[in-house]
Amino acid sequence: MNGPTTERPSRSPGIPPECLELLACPLDGGRLRLASEDALVSEGGRIYPIVNGVPLLLEESVLPGDVRAREVRASFESQWRIFGDETRIFGKTREEMRELLTGPRMGSAIGAGFYPGRRVLDAGCGHARYVTELARLGSVVVGLDVGSQLHHALLPADVRDQALLVQGDVRRPPLREGMFDLVFCDGVLHHTPDPRDSFLALARLVAPGGAFYVWVYPRGGKLWEGANRALRALTTRLPHGLQVLAANLLVPLLLLVPTYSGTRPGKASYRQCAQVIFDWISPRLQSHHSTEEVVGWFLEAGFERHEILPVPTGVIGWRDAP
């Protein structure tokens, strides 16, 4: 049984106009219009359904046929179905998530005053809690994720007029290029078949003068990397039910092995610790990177200004205004 939830969510009555203008056809990049309360239509006449307020813009025919990517999608759908109602996700409450968005982890140029009136994308939004907190900071927000858990996600009533959840793939984002003041991508790219290509696809969405925040898993030493590969060679091939069991059995390890999120017994519940372990051992795709590699992606995408953040392999880049 899922843990308690602290909010009463409410279904959005429709797509906020400010969000609708940010959407694009995943096939040709053209604009979309609202055909009815249940469907969007592209300039070429292609129909995209809307389920429970979530536009389904996942056009798998244009994406590489990587079976591992489909397995990663299934892993995260399971994770949020099982653990999505916990009061702490990755060790943080909603309030702590909001503080992260305005604190040092976002760099020296982004604080609470940055967000009002800005267009923000949460790329790979997963549990969608950052979407809510970004909207509460005053932004117009799109939360993009490949998982079908968004069909059942409910945004709180106080943000429904300025936030939208969209099912789509960060590798081919169904969004208009150059429209977002901030693209926020936290812990996502390392679960895609080609993190660099996924980065470049998202980078094209950043508006002139806008920012792109990225955090990926850091590369560890040879011993750590070897042990990680050995463990995951087993756990990623288990059925999801056994992965959940394994995650629960491995919770005591967090007394010895630190997590990136700071989740540990005593600070978080046993179940919340299991969520973090499930996130680690379940997805088939998981790559590790250096800060220099991530900076290289920014330079390749034309972001001449960047700031290395106070978290390993966290970088924020700024696109120069014309």
Residue 291 sits in a domain of what CATH number? Answer: 3.40.50.150
Closest CA to 212 of 240, 189, 246: 189
Residue 273 lies in a domain: no
Q: Identify the pLDDT of residue 65.
A: 66
As a whole-number percent, the residues of the chain with pLDDT over 70 amount to 95
Domains: count for the chain? 1
Q: Identify the pLDDT of residue 215.
A: 98
Dump pLDDT digits (tens) for 103-159.
999 999 999 999 999 999 999 999 999 999 999 999 999 999 999 999 888 899 999
As a whole-number percent, the residues of the chain with pLDDT over 90 amount to 84
Look up the domain containing 75 and give its range: 17-218+287-318
Kindly tell me if the per-residue pLDDT of 190 is higher than 80: yes
Residue 295 lies in a domain: yes
- pTM score, two decimals? 0.93
Residue 260 lies in a domain: no
Kindly tell me if the per-residue pLDDT of 94 is higher than 50: yes
Residue 247 lies in a domain: no
CB of 4 closer than 8 Å to CB of 87? yes
Q: Identify the pLDDT of residue 68.
A: 85
Residue 148 lies in a domain: yes
Residue 271 lies in a domain: no
Q: Identify the pLDDT of residue 10.
A: 38
Q: Identify the pLDDT of residue 62.
A: 65
Residue 275 lies in a domain: no
Mean pLDDT of 264-293: 95
CA-based Rg of the chain, rounded to a whole angstrom? 19
Buried b / exposed e over 253-279, threshold 16 CB at 10 Å, is ebeeeebbbebbeeebbebbbbbbbbb
Is pLDDT larger for residue 70 or for residue 247?
Answer: 247
Of the candidate ranges 64-68, 101-105, 191-195, 300-304, the one whose mean pLDDT is the lowest: 64-68
Residue 243 lies in a domain: no
Mean pLDDT of 213-228: 95
